[in-house]
Structure 1
Amino acid sequence: PYLKAGVPGDIQDLENGTYLLSFPLLWAGQAQVQVRLIHSSEAVGVLRGIWRDQWATVDFTGYFRGPTGYEEIVTCNVNPLLTGEEETTCHYRDEDSGELWFCARPPTLPCNSLVGHSSGHYWNVTTPHEEALLAWKSMGWDGAKDREVAGEDQWGWGRACHDQEGLFLSPQQPCQPGIPGPKPSGFYHRAVWHSLSCSGRTFSTVDSILGCLAGHIIHMMGDSTLRQWWEYLCDTVPSLKPVDLHATYQTGPLMAVETTRGIVLHWQAHSWPLRSLRTPVASLHSVVRELGGLAGGPHTVVVLGLGAHFTTFPPSVFVQRLAGIRAAVAALLARESHTLVVIKLANTGYKSVYGSDWFTLQVNRLLRAAFADLRVAFVDAWEMTSSLALPDRIHPGRLIVRNEVNFFLSFIC
């Protein structure tokens, strides 16, 4: 811990009651093994059953407004059977993605008077016994003592593969979309993430960030963990000025500009399903729609970060969303191949029936599979948030966000 170093390991079930734990040794000095059991197999069985069999574990609220300002409030969701009104529902089809959204029909107002959206309720979908299994605190095991790691190790990296500080040397190839993703994807040393797939850079000064972003328009679309990137850049670069678009901050759209370097930074939430404060429906643009409106080119960067808001639904909902986005990304790259598209994987943090790390692991597998054959870049936020002995937070602290953004910038310049 004093080195602020860490690397994710790999666990293999030998199917005889024992497990094989493998950790590469990527720095010289002390190393300590830490193993955490997040969920028991019984708890995972509960989560798997909920993910497979429940149509949803949350609902949403739709706000309808008449000409005089009179409002009616109803329940909305991804399935008409989940609105409480099986026969009388309003349905809304996204013309770009083809996805459907449903709201119970308001008592007097027409379906086209839907103006607002917000979170609804979390449903009770577990029995007391299942709740007890899920409430069981994650257990950890630390090695009995720190172990000294010399320049040689049993993994065969070899002394020649380390630099003067005793670190395993990162690959020399520049970071670019389409490069294979090794496992592990990287490691921390002295609070800096070192990629094992490409030569990631550290942008430690404002000038280095400005120089990298100069002349680029960045389009970030996703959840609040991706909004943290937008916030980090705005907080770190004083000349990157937010523009007040009079939007709901939690959902966006948000924009910041740096006029002398020609930098434009956008962020907006993906459309429903979205747990949020009340926000105008007109502001909820689908990712497919936004991608379809981009010409692309060498000065256009797209960052997508999805996952956290889909763990409350069966995988089919996320698969359908990914199918539409994948087609839109493929079309964007086909019309302008020099467009950079970056996929931020979902990070660890949630430990509940509504957003467990087990759900996130499945979501990330779907994300990788959806974009595996496209020339896109990945930022492995899962490993970057699980490799250091830090408290569980769905919104990582500045140390993690800084390293995520540094690796993202490495694909631009």
Structure 2
Amino acid sequence: MKTKLKFVVTVAMGTSVFLFFALANKQSWQLRSYQPSRAPAPLSRNIFPNGSGDKTTPDEEGARLSRLLQEFTGSYLDIPADNETATSADFTEFQILHPGSVYRVGDILSVLIRAKDMRNREKTYGGDFFRAKIYTERTKSSAPGRVRDFGNGTYGVTFRLLWEGDVTVSVRMVHSSSAVRVIKRVAEGFPFNRSWYQRRYITGNKSSTGWCSLNPNDLQIPEGGGICDFSDSYAGVEWYCQRPEGVACKQSVFHRHNGYLKEHTDLGLTEEEMRYFKFMHRRNGRGLEAIKAEIQSKNSTIQVAGNSSGADEEEQLPSCRPGLPVPVPSGYYRNGRWVSRVCATTRLSPLEYKKCLQNKILDFLGDSTVRQWAEFLAKLLNMENIPVPYFTSATAGPVHYLETEWNITTRYQSHGTPLKTYTWTNATVLSNLARIIDSIPGGPDRVVVVTLGLHFSNHPLSVFIRRVRAVRAAILRLRSREPETIVVIKPPNTTGASFNHLDEWPLFQIYLVLKEMFSGLPVVLVDTWEMTDCQFHEDNVHPTNDVISEEVSYMLSYVCV
């Protein structure tokens, strides 16, 4: 009897979810003449880090973001195309400034990078993309550094020293400025159509497909057909798909990603340009990825003593709560565990987490990296996967988990298009992220985790900014309805993918924009870029379980105070 009742309840819940998202997406089944009747709510604050309530114009906001990107990613204009002036990882060097100084925990360590070209000549312009960290292998301690491009061939790196002992500096050139020039050229020449997306329409027992894009100009109108406009300006979404002959836009049922343009044949990279990257093997032939070459130094290790006061920095931290200021770096690894510099974190057993999360609902919204969080938590708490009575996919969701004894519910759902899933996915349940957040009641027993970025890396940054603005407005509305709702922002992490897919140069800019757009708001920032920037594993779009464990543990410190 209990089993039958459970099945009926599950079906009812699933059917309700299906009907909700079907109705929510009904407005998208229109032709190009459709104009949304509801505009986004005005934002009540600007993006400046002091979190003031003063309004700012779009031009002022754009100028602030431009200065931010200029400061930390340098100037990439007018990079010469001459191969001999390409930056050489073999000749480029870094040096520790004041290497003979007495360093203590809490001090700032400064490093200077001097870029050199293939002829061992000093570079006179910037644009190289470096990543840097300090580490102690013996104790599995590490921390990220902040690199600044001075625009003249030199780069400054600063680290905060956070533990005692021998500390080694590591600097990697992810991309030379020549590689960045190629990435910029490709991004400008192919702003929307480097990724292929498709829509499948069902008419009776027949199906037909059309190509999709964020820009209708990329799509040819098929003979006898048209273009369906699935855009949603309220949610900051632009999305267009070909409509084959004889079908209506409302008959669009499935979505999928169907590959990328090839670097050599489609994007027009020359053999010389391809040398700026490292070749990688993949199913459909060779591809390109960042070189990520280690930069050498005559002296890369220093000795760090304890601080003079003997005080433990962790003991001075406040309890974890949303809206706390985030220092740089926000934390570091010690003995393989992430140590927050924002607040005093807690580590609990699975049973203690169950007690803490009793009667709570956690929404994990975004891409597969936050799906990893939902899956990790479900395994940790021994939660049951609740099936839904309609076709969906693990990539897009919705996926629901339930822990019956303590009444803990979690959900994973994707952020909507552009969604890079090779599996045909039910388009009728692909809602846009701002609307998903609007549908959440909120309250003290609700945790909403949001990530955005990875699926936008080979589209214009303006597309991402427009989407983030709408998501931020939805979060402000949620917080206005229920101020006790805990909202967690998860930036993208470092990756090991190809430059045409998940390259770190555009992802780093996405990371900076996301941090800036949510600075000063009463939300939780789990800085997964920093947590993977200095990890002891190879970069991977899907980090290893021990890294996911640290990310989830840190997030739960704001829930289980």
TM-score after normalising by structure 2: 0.68
- The answer to whether residue 117 in structure 2 is matched with residue 117 in structure 1 is no
Match of 2:454 in 1: 308
CA-to-aligned-CA distance 1:287-320 (integer Å, 9 cap, x gap): 1111111221111111001100001210121112
Aligned to 2:199: 62
8 A Cα contact 2:144 2:530, kept in partner: yes
Which residue matches 2:85? none
For 2:311, the equivalent position in structure 1 comes to 161
Which shows bigger deviation, 372-381 or 240-249?
Answer: 240-249
1:146 Cα deviation after fit: 4.9
The 8 Å contact of residues 381 and 403 in structure 2, kept in 1 or not, is answered as: no
Alpha-carbon distance between aligned partners in 1 of 2:251 and 2:311, rounded to the nearest angstrom = 64
Question: Partners in 2 of 1:224 and 1:367 — Cα distance?
Answer: 18
CA distance in 1, matches of 2:458, 2:169: 33
Q: 1:259 to 1:344 in 2, by over 3 A?
A: same
Q: 2:328 aligns with which of 160, 183, 190?
A: 183
> In the alignment, is residue 149 of structure 1 matched against residue 304 of structure 2?
yes
Deviates more, 1:253-262 or 1:95-104: 95-104
Distance 1:245 1:18, change over 3 A: same
- Whether 2:336 is the aligned partner of 1:194: answer no
Separation in structure 2 between the aligned mates of residue 125 and residue 181 of structure 1, nearest angstrom: 40
What pairs up with 1:262-341 in 2 under 5 angstroms? 262-276=407-421, 277-341=423-487
Q: Structure 2 CA distance, aligned partners of 1:92 and 1:19?
A: 44
Matched, 1:23 2:159: yes
Map of 1:237 onto structure 2: 381
**Structure 1 residue 388: Cα displacement:** 2.2
Q: 1:307 to 1:145 in 2, by over 3 A?
A: closer
1:140 aligns with 2:294: yes
Contact 1:171–1:197 at 8 Å: present in 2 too?
no
Contact 2:183/2:499 (<8 A) preserved: no
Q: Give a deviation string over 1:200-242, Cα, whole Å, max 9, x none.
A: 2223x2112213322211011100000000111112222x222
Which residue of structure 1 lines up, in the alignment, with residue 23 of structure 2? none
Match of 2:217 in 1: 81
> Considering only CA atoms, is the larger Rg found in Structure 1 or Structure 2?
2
Mapping of residues 359-370 of structure 1, within 5 Å: 359-370=506-517
Aligned to 2:97: none
Worse-matched range after superposition: 5-14 or 55-64: 5-14
Counterpart AA for 1:386 = D
Q: Distance in 1 between matches of 2:156 and 2:250?
A: 58
Structure 2 spans left out of the alignment, 5+ residues: 1-136, 279-289
Structure 1 residues 271 and 12: alpha-carbon distance in aligned structure 2, compared to 1, 3 A threshold: closer
Q: Distance in 2 between matches of 1:171 and 1:283?
A: 46
Q: 1:12 to 1:299 in 2, by over 3 A?
A: same
Give the letter for the 1:132 counterpart. R
1:141 aligned partner, one-letter code: I
| 1:165 aligned partner | none
Q: Displacement, 1:354?
A: 2.4
Q: 1:176 to 1:92 in 2, by over 3 A?
A: same
- Aligned-residue offset at 1:98: 5.8
Question: Residues 119-149 of structure 1: CA distance to partner in whole angstroms, max 9, x if unpaired?
Answer: 0230233512333323362211366575432
Amino acid in the other structure paired with 1:133? Y
Gaps of 5+ in 1: 153-157, 163-167
TM-aligned CA distance change 1:134 to 1:98, over 3 Å: same
The CA deviation at 1:378 is: 0.5
Tell me what 1:394 maps to: 541
Q: 1: distance between equivalents of 2:189 and 2:517?
A: 23
For residues 72-122 of structure 1, the C-alpha deviation after alignment (integer angstroms, 9 at most, x for no partner) is 011111111222338931112338526332111212222221100000230
Q: Which has the higher contact order (CA 8 A, sep 6+)?
A: 1
Q: How many residues align?
A: 400
Distance across 2 between alignment mates of 1:170 and 1:308: 35
Identify if the C-alpha distance between structure 1 residues 97 and 10 changes in structure 2 by more than 3 Å, giving closer, same or farther. closer
- Contact 2:317/2:341 (CA < 8 Å) preserved in 1? no
1:210 to 354, 357, 364: 354
How much identity, in percent, do the aligned residues show?
31
Relative to 1, partners in 2 of residues 1:202 and 1:130: Cα closer, same or farther, differing over 3 Å?
farther
CA contact (8 A) 1:232 1:401 kept: yes
Distance 1:351 1:37, change over 3 A: farther
Tell me, yes or no, if the aligned pair for 2:236 and 2:466 is still in contact at 8 Å. no
- Root-mean-square deviation (CA), in Å? 2.0
Partner of 1:155: none
Contact 2:236 2:467 in 1 (8 A): no
